[in-house]
Structure 1
Amino acid sequence: MKKLHVAVVASLLALAAAAPAAGAVTFDATNTASGTPGGKRFDQAVGLDYAEQVLSDASTFVWNTFNQPSPADRRPVDAVTLVVEDIGGVAFTGGSDIHLSAQYVGGYSGDVKTEVTGVLYHEVVHVWQWGLQDYGAHSGIFEGIADYVRLKAGYAPGHWVQPGQGDRWDQGYDVTARFLDYCDSLQPGFVAQLNAKLKDGYSEDYFLQILGKNVQQLWQDYKAKYGV
């Protein structure tokens, strides 16, 4: 009986070691456009293994940026996937599925590996950020948060606007990303707090709640700081 007990315990320990950790996220990338110029360039310059590692690294970076150390703090996602496809545009994300344009990869004139890395960081944010139920009416803030993470990760391309530039705080993408970076400088962790509040729906009042000023005043202060 004792030998049987030891064998059973050893078997259970082996199964536990082989099983994925509770709450673990898997990352997978496929290229359905390998026969196209852009798909071939992706395989040569980026590669599926590297892309999967970026999905993992970017997710960890997003969790840290959003101050979400526990899976209980995050959106309930157990798999993040990337598909490289023969489509137009740059990339888009639906749920936890990221779609990258092979046409964009093929036509990009600079360091395509760095550019794809930055694009994937942006898209991974859309997998994890809260509040996307309000994306249609307030896309600027969600795209701005995604580019803010890309900026903080060190993958902002050279063509982005400079700090202080832009017409509206919610213009989206690089304009809003630069503004959010300013807001975060006023109170470190601002973007994490903003993302957490967006779980309950969008409101401009979150800026006032967190920073003590309404967003229009913050935008004026931001423009004044950079003399724009």
Structure 2
Amino acid sequence: MPPHDPRPPPPLVIPDFVLRVEDLSHPGASIFFDCVKPREALKLAVEASYTWLYTSLTAPTNVKTITLVLRPFDGVAYTLGTHEMKEINFSLDWIKKSEARARDEILGVLVHEVVHCYQYNAQGTCPGGLVEGIADFVRLHADLAPPHWRPKATEKWDAGYDATAYFLDWIEKRCGEGTIRKLNGSMKDSKYRVDLFEDVTGESVNSLYALYCEHLERKSSGEISHS
């Protein structure tokens, strides 16, 4: 057993935040500022990413700046950038459309997009559905899931977004807290292999998904009531 290290773990590295609003007259901009404080909202999103994908000892420190751009466009949000400089574009039109539950939607979208700033993606080879599923897994565990989200069986386990998020959540409950953190960590330095799931859980992803779909069917039939 290694000797106990009495030193506290290093503090989480919070990047610099930059905000750019391209249309202050847009009603979505007023809703945004009425509902959240930008720095606090982004800090919450960073902390959620650290909490569910890393520990204080493994959290990446490469992200130096996250720029949030609020502007009108179709869609919801997307993230781009370099290893150190990330940019999140968030639709003012979507914020306006989500006015009835704007605060939770804003925070939820920011959590999802900030995960993209930090998660590992197997050097760009991870299936897009798993990338998006992990981002929504963190959103789910941050208690920011939209009210319409429900666990559901889809044709493929990596259909993405909330469908894959609930599958990952089921794996986390089945295999123990920290399982998805390990899965994310396994994609840091190597190309994607479907066997990564077996390495982390001891079971193939196809076997896990078959069990998950069976679980959903039994729950739907009333045979089981717990999640």
Whether TM exceeds 0.5 here: the answer is yes
The one of 48, 55, 71 aligned to 1:85: 71
Please give the secondary structure, in 2, of the residue aligned with 1:83: strand
Local SS of the residue matching 2:25? coil
The residue type equivalent to 1:103 in the other structure is D
Question: For 2:90, what is the secondary structure of its paired residue?
Answer: strand
Kept in 2, the 8 Å contact 1:75–1:129? The answer is: no
Partner Cα distance (1:195, 1:153) in 2: 17
Matched position secondary structure for 2:153: coil
Match of 1:34 in 2: 24
Which protein shows a greater Rg?
A: 1
* Greater alpha carbon shift after TM alignment, 22-31 vs 51-60: 22-31
The alignment status of 1:152 with 2:144, answered yes or no, reads no
Residues 12-47 of structure 1 show CA distances to partners (whole Å, capped at 9, x for unaligned) of xxxxxxxxx99552223232221223223323333x
Aligned partner letter, 1:190: T
Tell me if structure 2 keeps the 8 A contact 1:26–1:80: yes
TM-score for both structures, normalised by structure 1: 0.81
User: Which amino acid in structure 2 is aligned with residue 119 of structure 1?
Assistant: V
Distance in 2, matches of 1:191 and 1:104, equals 29
Kept in 1: contact 2:133–2:160 (CA 8 A): yes
Give the secondary structure class of the aligned counterpart of 1:198: coil
Query: What amino acid sits opposite 1:60 in the alignment?
Result: E
Counterpart CA distance in 1 for 2:157 and 2:29 is 36
Distance 1:92 1:168 in 2: 23
Partner of 1:142: 131
Contact conserved, 1:144 with 1:176, CA < 8 A, in 2? yes
Query: What is the number of equivalent residue pairs in this alignment?
Result: 202
Return the offset for 1:61.
Answer: 1.8
C-alpha separation in 1, matches of 2:151 and 2:74? 30
Please state if 1:207 is matched with 2:197: yes
1:168 matched residue in structure 2: 156
**Shift >6 Å, 4+ stretches:** none
- Contact persistence 1:121–1:150 (CA under 8 A): yes
Q: 1:167-206, aligned counterparts within 5 Å?
A: 167-187=155-175, 188-199=177-188, 200-206=190-196
CA contact (8 A) 1:75 1:128 kept: no
Give the deviation of 1:79 after TM superposition: 1.4
Structure 2 unaligned spans of 5+: 1-10, 221-227
* Greater mean deviation of Cα atoms: 202-211 or 138-147: 202-211
State the alpha-carbon separation in 2 of the partners of residues 43 and 53 from structure 1.
12
> So what's the TM-score if we normalise by structure 2?
0.82
Match status 1:74 vs 2:60: yes
**1:164–1:225: 8 Å Cα contact kept in structure 2?**
no
Cα RMSD, aligned residues only: 2.1
* Structure number having the greater helix percentage: 1
Q: Deviation string for 1:58-106 (max 9, x for gaps)?
A: 1112112112313x64151111221101222100001311110011112
Cα distance in 2, alignment partners of residues 226 and 32 from structure 1: 44
CA distance in structure 2 between the aligned counterparts of 1:169 and 1:57, rounded to whole angstroms: 29
